[in-house]
Amino acid sequence: MTTVNPIDALIAEKGVLLADGATGTNLFAMGLPAGEAPEILNETAPETIAKLHQGFVDAGADIILTNSFGGTRHRLKLHHAQDRVFELNKKAAEIARSVADKAGREVIVAGSVGPTGELLIPLGALSYEDAVEAFAEQIEGLKAGGAEVAWIETMSAPDEIRAAAEAAIRVGLPYTYTGSFDTAGRTMMGLLPKDIHAVADGLAEAPIGVGANCGVGASDILASLLDMTEAKPGATVIVKGNCGIPEFRGSEIHYSGTPELMSDYVRLAVDAGAKIIGGCCGTSFAHLAAMRKALDVHKKDMRPTVETIVERIGPLRNKAASANANENAEGRRERRRSRG
C-alpha cells in the first residue's frame, strides 16, 4: 500500500497549490552546458541544485520537483551513468528535501520522473515489464532520498504512464502524472486531454493528481485544462505550462511569457478548475513569485471559454479548434478597438 497522500492534505488547507517552475532552462542559465545531464549535477554541483530549489521556495512554491527528470537507466545511459540510477536519484531527493525542511512551512518534495526516451513494444523494443523495472529503480532512489510523491511528467504514451504508475505503486509512493499535449491538442502518441484520467484505470492505486505540463504555451495548456476538468469535475488536476512561446534569438531560446502573463495564466487556471498550478520551460523565480501573488489574491471566478483564454493570453498554437477560437477572440478585440 502507498503512504499518506501529502497533496490532498495541503489542498484541503490551501485550496490551490503552487508547483515550481523550470528546471532545465534555469539550470542552463546557471551554467549547465548544453548536452550535459542535469542529474549529474546532483553529485558534482549540489549547491547549484539547492540554489534552484531555494529560489522556488523563496518565490512561494508549495511543491518542488527533484532534479531527476532524466533519471532512468535509459536516459542516464546516454551519459554513461546507467549504473548510478539509485544514487543520483537519491541525491536529487536529498537536496530538495534539505531545502524543503528548512522552509518554515510545508513544502512537498515530488520526485520528477520523465519518459525513458524509448518506445514500448510494439512500436519499439522496450517491453512494458522492463519499463516498470526501470521506473521502479529510479523511484526507489527518490523515495530513499525523501521524496513524498512520484511526479510522472511530460509523458506521451499511455502505456509508459501506466508503467511508471505501476512502479510507484510497487515502491510505495503516491503518484501523479501529466501528459504533454503538444501535437494538435494531443500527446505525440495520440492521447487526448479528456482521456488523461482513465490512463491508470485498473491499477492497484489511483493517482492523486493528473494533468498536463510543458506543451507549446500557456493558451494551449489552459484549453487542455478545460477538457480535463470538464471530463472529471472535482478531480485534482495539475497544469504546469511553459512560460509563453519559445523563440530563438541567435543560438539561445527565449520564452515570451512575462510575469504579468503568467499571473493571468494562474487566474484562468484557477477559474478553469486546476488544483495544482506551476510553470514549465522558461518559468523563472520572478515569474513564480508573480504567480504566487496572483494566486494569493485571486477569488475563483466564472469558468473561462477557449475564446476568453485566447483573448487574454494569446492565440492557440496547435489545438484542433484553434483557428475558430483565435478568429472569434480577434473579432472581439477588433470590435472593442472600433468602439474605443
281 marked among binding-site residues: yes
| Percent of the chain that is helix, strand, coil (3-state, to 5) | 50, 15, 35
Average pLDDT for 221-225: 97
pLDDT of residue 339: 44
* Of 165, 278, 287, 158, residue with least CA distance to 225: 278
Average pLDDT for 257-262: 95
DSSP state of 155: E
Domain residue limits, the chain: 6-339
* Distance (Å) of CA 324 to CA 99, 225, 295, 320: 46, 18, 30, 9
Span 6-339: which CATH code? Answer: 3.20.20.330
CA distance linking residue 147 with residue 257, whole number of Å: 30
Q: Are 71 and 43 in contact (CB under 8 A)?
A: no
- Of all residues in the chain, the percent with pLDDT exceeding 70 is 92
pLDDT of residue 338: 41
Per-residue pLDDT tens for 79-134?
Answer: 999 999 999 999 999 999 999 999 999 999 999 999 999 999 999 999 999 999 99
108-113 and 276-279: which strand pairing?
Answer: unpaired
CA distance linking residue 133 with residue 170, whole number of Å: 10
Per-residue pLDDT tens for 148-189?
Answer: 999 999 999 999 999 999 999 999 999 999 999 999 999 999
pLDDT exceeds 60 at position 326:
no
Q: Are 87 and 75 in contact (CB under 8 A)?
A: no
pLDDT of residue 3: 52
Tell me which residue has cell 523511484.
139
Cell of 259: 510575469
DSSP state of 105: S
Contacts of 106 (CB under 8 A, 6+ apart): 6, 10, 62
Q: Residue 337 — pLDDT band, cuts 50, 70, 90?
A: very low
pLDDT exceeds 70 at position 229:
yes
pLDDT of residue 35: 82
DSSP state of 33: P
CA distance linking residue 165 with residue 174, whole number of Å: 9
Calculate the average pLDDT of the chain: 92
Contacts of 12 (CB under 8 A, 6+ apart): none
- Of all residues in the chain, the percent with pLDDT exceeding 90 is 84
pLDDT exceeds 90 at position 329:
no
Among 117-121, 261-265, 317-321, which is the least confidently predicted range? 317-321
Look up the pTM and report it. 0.93
pLDDT of residue 247: 80
pLDDT of residue 1: 45
Average pLDDT for 195-219: 96
Q: How far is CA 253 from the centre of its chain?
A: 19
pLDDT of residue 8: 96
SS3 readout for 251-263: CEEEECCCHHHHH
Helices (H), the chain: 6-14, 24-29, 41-44, 46-59, 73-76, 85-101, 128-145, 158-171, 218-231, 259-271, 285-297, 306-313, 322-339
CA distance linking residue 215 with residue 246, whole number of Å: 11
CA distance linking residue 166 with residue 179, whole number of Å: 16
Among 28-32, 52-56, 273-277, 280-284, which is the least confidently predicted range? 28-32
243 marked among binding-site residues: no
pLDDT of residue 2: 45
214 marked among binding-site residues: yes
Contacts of 324 (CB under 8 A, 6+ apart): none
CA distance linking residue 65 with residue 38, whole number of Å: 13
Cell of 227: 477538457
